[in-house]
Chains A and B, each alone.
Chain A
Amino acid sequence: MTHTLSLPWTPVALSSDVPPGTVIPAKLSSGPIAVWRTQSGHLSANGDRCPHRGMRLSHGFVRGETLSCIYHGWRFADDGSCTHIPAHPNLTPPSAIKCNPRQAKESGGVIWVADELPDEEPVFFEGYKPLRSLVVAADETSVREATQATDVDSGLAVNHAGTDIRLLVSDLDGEQVFVILLLAENTSPEACVSASRWAEVMRQKAERICNHGETT
């Protein structure tokens, strides 16, 4: 069962990993995206490609409420429209110039993105908060085997040293999975550190299983 892979929303990052005024790269099954937050805190996502010369917009910069491409400084609003072309400062950019906007939503401290607006809301783990994300060069089956996790809701559940851990697993590119670790809201700082270290070890284990076909 790999129901996490078919969610209408894809988890791409933790909210805390994208502070105001920053942009990060992420992946949907439809291709690479740039996820960015304006100075005022508004979150957006769009295709990771400037329509001018194809430069990845996730290498760009956020000033105020717009995202600029690092290559020529073309500036885009949250609806994907181009608002300024520095080479022609007095030109109003034609409305045909767009960087493909995606749907972005925050829920429970996780950033979710979809190509088109889904009917459903992103999944929500009541009582849990995200700790950190990891990319694992293995498939979900290997992650499952390494962690000995069981299915719950739309994720995996495991108990490590008395700490309840939820894993949100999504496919990145067929060869890697993106994993978000969630812990119960009242987890102590020491247990947070311990869970993070456990996840590092689990990643190595999952990758060994995936590479060598080790099974349990």
Chain B
Amino acid sequence: MKLYDYILSPSCYKVRLLASLIGAKLDLQSVDFHPGQEHKGDALLTLNPAGAIPILEDGAFVLTESSAMLAYLAATTAPEWEGRETPDMSAKVQQWLAFSHRLTASLGGARLVEMLHGNGDLDALQGAGIAALRELEAALFEQRLAGQSFLVGEQPTIADIACFPYVALAPDGSITLDPYPSIRLWMRAIRSLPGFIEMPGIHRLHDLVPDPQSSKEDH
């Protein structure tokens, strides 16, 4: 499988992250999104007329939306990440996949304005982003009450991966994550998963590895 990828794109990162978590192999093809605008060039427009990345190619099969790529990766490699054990879970996964597009539009839009000279009404984007974060916080709080760490149950699903990147990078668009304790714990749970990889703007959880200083003292 080949992913047309941009290191700073949270949507591309979703696909890289899930692939890493489930051990799926991806060939990465770097796209000069900025400053080169390669995604608006002829070659990539033939793959995705919308002029957007990521694009996933599996032989002749081409996908253009990150949520679809997550579903495809999970279905082909790790069905437990699909979250389809019950009708309720299936429906909730769909709900959060749809919700993730609101995060892209709001938090992602603010990030483009604040970081990469994008256009947009920053106040409106931030306002919509905060509304979405509050909804997510409330939902994750209810999950905690039910003893569940992730959006759709005790185990992570593609719903978590679809929502995580733009939330974690909200500060890039000058939207603070300080007021959301349940989001903080949820992000920590995702960042602690075996196989988790970072993207720029999301730092390593250094506390997950033992302190090299004390191990030196022990030996």
Contact = CB atoms under 8 A, between A and B. Distances in A.
Classify A-B as touching or not with yes or no (CB < 8 A).
Answer: yes
Given A62-B207, A64-B211, A135 B179 contact: yes
B213 interface: yes
Nearest to A60: B206
A62 B205 CA distance: 9
Contacts of B214: 64
B155 to A, nearest CB: 19
Contacts of A200: 134, 138
Interface range for B: 20 to 34
Nearest to A17: B181
B138 A196 contact: yes
A134 B203 contact: no
A22 interface: yes
Contact of A133 (B142, B181, B185, B188): B181
B138 A14 contact: no
Contacts, number: 51
Contact of B184 (A24, A70, A135, A193): A24
A13 B145 contact: no
B205 A132 contact: no
B186 to A, nearest CB: 12
Interface residues of A, number: 30
B164 interface: no
A196 B142 contact: yes
A68 to B, nearest CB: 7
Given A196-B142, A200-B134, A17 B185 contact: yes
Interface string B119-158: 0000000000000001000100110011000000000000
A61 B191 CA distance: 13
A49 B185 CA distance: 22
A192 B141 CA distance: 10
B58 interface: no
A25 B134 contact: no
Contact of A61 (B134, B145, B181, B206): B206
Contacts of B205: 61
Interface of B: 134, 138, 141-142, 145-146, 178-179, 181-182, 184-185, 188, 203, 205-207, 210-211, 213-214
8 contacts: A17-B184, A17-B185, A63-B207, A63-B210, A84-B213, A132-B141, A132-B181, A133-B179
Interface of A: 13-14, 17, 19, 21-22, 24-26, 59, 61-64, 68, 70, 73, 84, 89, 132-135, 189, 192-193, 196-197, 200, 203
